């Protein structure tokens, strides 16, 4: 395997992992650590010197607090928003050194978590084909294409300290994976093993100080297994990922405005700082130096289009926007790298080395509706008008025909040169398609003697989602509060749409 800490090679024979250890696994199952399940009941314990009771917090607040404790290695239960004995013990351990100054300790914990959540990009995401959702630090880990056909998803940390595989297997092989993981346990350490409620879980501490975790369940008649492996510096991250695994969609780790924890997190930290977390925050990538052409190499702009972020680092645009370009940049000179393009769909996805705090949500389960109000966002006639981002509105006037390989939809929202590659969005800012073309007015005039009006085209979001998934592009939901474009475009949405310069 390409990652040295992931030493196990999958066998094609479903019985490859079956060995005498299955008997050992059965014995280990009798050593189940029941403490991990105790948190399911409501806890009554309370840390001292807090201006409120933990039991009075909302489930979302309790869930975010559990996530903060997981990331720093204090909590090893499920992140479910139910406060029990494990949650309270973890909070007590985290605040112990503050000697009674509970509010100060909790404020520092929350401030550190919010900083790491944003820097590392923690988002709950669905793992297609697994029936599971898991929180992933999308700034810290990248999706990579696996060589093995049974691996549905693979995420690897940029520094190779954290690894996630989601794969399908037979029941026997899934059991063998858990047996193999139990054998990775360091000497004189306990193996956590549970097989109940339709799921099997194994977690161990490795001899090198890292951790391994496996979760299996049945989905659509197949066994699906998630494998998490970390080095010591990413143990907290593994803990948060493992604790977040759920069969149901989960909300983001946020603190409701005006809530008890949000008010506490906004206060100043105390004079006695908590010990630093065991894992360093992901470094912020350096901002690239704008390219300076050499003598005799003019770097003039040949043309421009529009693109939009679909996650913190990947930008979607139209393929024809990037054709014939020597270089692709953002307005500030940031170099963009082509990930993949599709001539039939007229789509391209680019990678930016500079992270964006804002991106657009993409409709993954529904497509545009006939007659639906839609908005075209883009930068038309850049260099001539330079009026900034343009927003025009219209309707979905026709849906793509079944035999159309590009799955184009027609819209009445006015578009101009420079809009190509921009998003077509609904009133709540969800992407419905990518602007790719407009009808040739002169050609229609010559053919019919009439000038067409407001007949423009976009590649449907249905084709966009398929294209992005095939190229391992993540589509996390943004953190934007609900809005309606009719009341004005929020800055967070406007900043996710960018000019693409062809040089």
Among the ranges given (10-19, 282-291, 457-466), the one the predictor scored with the smallest mean pLDDT: 10-19
Q: What's the token pair of residue 373? A: 């109000």
- Nearest to residue 271, comparing CAs of 108, 407, 75? 108
Question: What pLDDT is recorded for position 355?
Answer: 84
Q: What are the strands, taking DSSP E only, across 271-419?
A: 303-309, 314-317, 328-329, 337-342, 347-351, 373-378, 390-398, 408-411
Domain at 299-503: CATH architecture: Beta Barrel (2.40)
Question: What pLDDT is recorded for position 187?
Answer: 87
Question: What are 310-353's pLDDT values in tens digits?
Answer: 988 899 999 999 998 999 999 989 999 998 999 999 999 998 88
Among the ranges given (280-289, 449-458, 459-468), the one the predictor scored with the smallest mean pLDDT: 280-289
Mean pLDDT of 22-37: 36
Q: What's the token pair of residue 286? A: 């350096």
CA–CA gap between residue 462 and residue 303 (Å, rounded): 28
Residue 498 has pLDDT above 80, yes or no: yes
The residues that bridge with 424 in the sheet, in sequence order, are 376, 433
Question: What pLDDT is recorded for position 403?
Answer: 52
Among the ranges given (138-152, 206-220, 390-404, 448-462), the one the predictor scored with the smallest mean pLDDT: 448-462
Cα–Cα distances in angstroms (integers) from residue 407 to residues 289, 447, 462, 463, in the given order: 39, 25, 8, 7
**For residue 103, how many other CB atoms are within 10 A of its CB?**
17
Q: What's the token pair of residue 392? A: 């025009």
Cα–Cα distances in angstroms (integers) from residue 384 to residues 79, 240, 388, 417, in the given order: 53, 50, 11, 11
Question: What pLDDT is recorded for position 289?
Answer: 34
Q: Are 483 and 490 in contact (CB under 8 A)?
A: yes
Question: What pLDDT is recorded for position 385?
Answer: 65
Among the ranges given (90-94, 189-193, 258-262, 268-272), the one the predictor scored with the smallest mean pLDDT: 268-272
Quick one: DSSP state of residue 335? B
Q: Are 66 and 261 in contact (CB under 8 A)?
A: no
Among the ranges given (1-15, 83-97, 408-422), the one the predictor scored with the smallest mean pLDDT: 1-15
3-class SS of residue 75: coil
Mean pLDDT of 38-59: 62
Question: What are 209-260's pLDDT values in tens digits?
Answer: 999 999 999 998 889 999 999 999 999 999 999 999 999 988 889 888 888 8
CA–CA gap between residue 72 and residue 110 (Å, rounded): 11
Mean pLDDT of 177-194: 89
CA–CA gap between residue 503 and residue 335 (Å, rounded): 11
Question: What pLDDT is recorded for position 203?
Answer: 93
The top-scoring range by mean pLDDT among 12-26, 45-59, 213-227 is 213-227
Mean pLDDT of 442-460: 63
DSSP H or E run through 214: strand 211-219
Cα–Cα distances in angstroms (integers) from residue 9 to residues 4, 12, 147, 186, 225, in the given order: 11, 10, 12, 20, 15
The whole-chain average pLDDT of the chain stands at 79
Residue 283 has pLDDT above 70, yes or no: no
The residues that bridge with 342 in the sheet, in sequence order, are 347
Residue 306 has pLDDT above 90, yes or no: yes
The pTM assigned to this predicted structure is 0.61
Tell which wins on pLDDT, 373 or 1: 373
Quick one: DSSP state of residue 148? S
The residues that bridge with 223 in the sheet, in sequence order, are 169, 218
Cα–Cα distances in angstroms (integers) from residue 195 to residues 33, 199, 424, in the given order: 12, 6, 47
DSSP H or E run through 501: strand 497-502
CA–CA gap between residue 115 and residue 243 (Å, rounded): 20
Residue 275 has pLDDT above 50, yes or no: no
Return the domain boundaries, the chain: 21-265, 299-503
Question: What pLDDT is recorded for position 210?
Answer: 92
Q: What is the residue-wise DSSP string for 259-275?
A: SHHHHHHTSPP-SSPPP
Question: What pLDDT is recorded for position 402?
Answer: 52
Question: What pLDDT is recorded for position 444?
Answer: 47
Question: What pLDDT is recorded for position 28?
Answer: 38
Residue 448 has pLDDT above 60, yes or no: no
pLDDT band at 30 (very low <50, low <70, confident <90, very high): very low
Q: Are 318 and 348 in contact (CB under 8 A)?
A: yes
Buried b (16+ CB within 10 A) or exposed e, 16-45: bbeeebeeebeebbeebeeebbebeeebee
Alpha-carbon torsion angle 316, 320, 324, 325, nearest 10? -30
Question: What are 119-178's pLDDT values in tens digits?
Answer: 898 988 889 889 999 999 988 998 887 777 788 899 999 888 999 999 998 888 888 999
Buried b (16+ CB within 10 A) or exposed e, 461-492: bbbbbebbeebbbbbbbbbbeeeebeeebbeb
Question: What pLDDT is recorded for position 7?
Answer: 36
pLDDT band at 37 (very low <50, low <70, confident <90, very high): very low
Q: What are the strands, taking DSSP E only, across 417-469?
A: 423-425, 431-438, 456-460
């Amino acid at each position: 395997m390409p990652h040295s800490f992931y030493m196990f090679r999958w066998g094609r024979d479903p019985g490859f992992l079956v060995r005498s250890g299955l008997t050992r696994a059965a014995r280990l199952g009798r050593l189940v650590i029941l403490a991990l399940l105790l948190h399911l009941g409501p806890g009554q314990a309370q840390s001292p010197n807090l201006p409120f009771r933990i039991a009075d917090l909302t489930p979302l607040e309790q869930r975010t607090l559990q996530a903060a404790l997981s990331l720093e290695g204090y909590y090893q239960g499920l992140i479910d928003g139910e406060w029990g004995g494990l949650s309270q013990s973890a909070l007590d351990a985290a605040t112990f050194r503050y000697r009674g100054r509970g509010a100060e300790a909790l404020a520092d914990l929350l401030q550190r978590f919010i900083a790491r959540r944003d820097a590392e990009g923690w988002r709950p995401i669905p793992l297609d084909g697994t029936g599971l959702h898991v929180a992933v630090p999308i700034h810290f880990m990248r999706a990579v294409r696996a060589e093995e056909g049974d691996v549905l998803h693979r995420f690897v940390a940029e520094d190779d300290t954290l690894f996630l595989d989601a794969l399908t297997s037979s029941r026997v092989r899934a059991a063998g994976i858990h047996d193999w993981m139990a054998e990775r346990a360091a000497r004189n350490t306990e193996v956590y093993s549970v097989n109940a409620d339709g799921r099997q879980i194994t977690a161990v501490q490795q001899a090198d100080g890292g951790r391994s975790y496996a979760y299996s369940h049945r989905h659509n008649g197949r066994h699906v297994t998630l494998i998490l492996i970390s080095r010591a510096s990413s143990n907290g991250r593994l803990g948060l990922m493992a604790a977040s695994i759920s069969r149901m969609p989960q909300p983001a780790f946020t603190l409701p405005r005006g809530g008890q924890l949000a008010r506490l997190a906004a206060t100043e930290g105390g004079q006695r700082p908590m010990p630093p977390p065991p894992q360093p925050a992901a470094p912020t990538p350096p901002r690239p130096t704008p390219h300076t052409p050499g003598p005799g190499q003019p770097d003039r702009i040949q043309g421009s289009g529009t693109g939009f972020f679909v996650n913190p680092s990947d930008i979607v645009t139209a393929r024809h926007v990037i054709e014939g370009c020597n270089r692709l940049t953002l307005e500030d000179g940031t170099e963009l790298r082509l990930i993949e393009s599709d001539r039939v769909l007229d789509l391209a996805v680019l990678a930016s080395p500079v992270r964006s705090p804002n991106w657009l949500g993409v409709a993954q389960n529904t497509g545009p509706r006939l007659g639906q109000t839609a908005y075209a966002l883009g930068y038309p006639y850049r260099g001539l008008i330079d009026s900034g981002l343009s927003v025009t509105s219209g309707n979905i006037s026709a849906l793509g025909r079944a035999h159309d390989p590009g799955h184009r939809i027609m819209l009445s929202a006015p578009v101009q040169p420079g809009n190509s590659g921009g998003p077509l969005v609904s009133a709540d800012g969800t992407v419905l398609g990518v602007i790719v073309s407009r009808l040739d007015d002169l050609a229609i005039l010559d053919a019919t003697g009439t000038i067409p009006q407001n007949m423009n085209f976009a590649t449907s979001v249905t084709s966009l989602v398929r294209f992005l998934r095939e190229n391992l592009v993540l589509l996390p939901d943004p953190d934007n509060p609900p809005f309606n474009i009719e009341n004005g475009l929020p800055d967070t949405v406007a900043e996710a749409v960018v000019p693409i310069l062809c040089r």
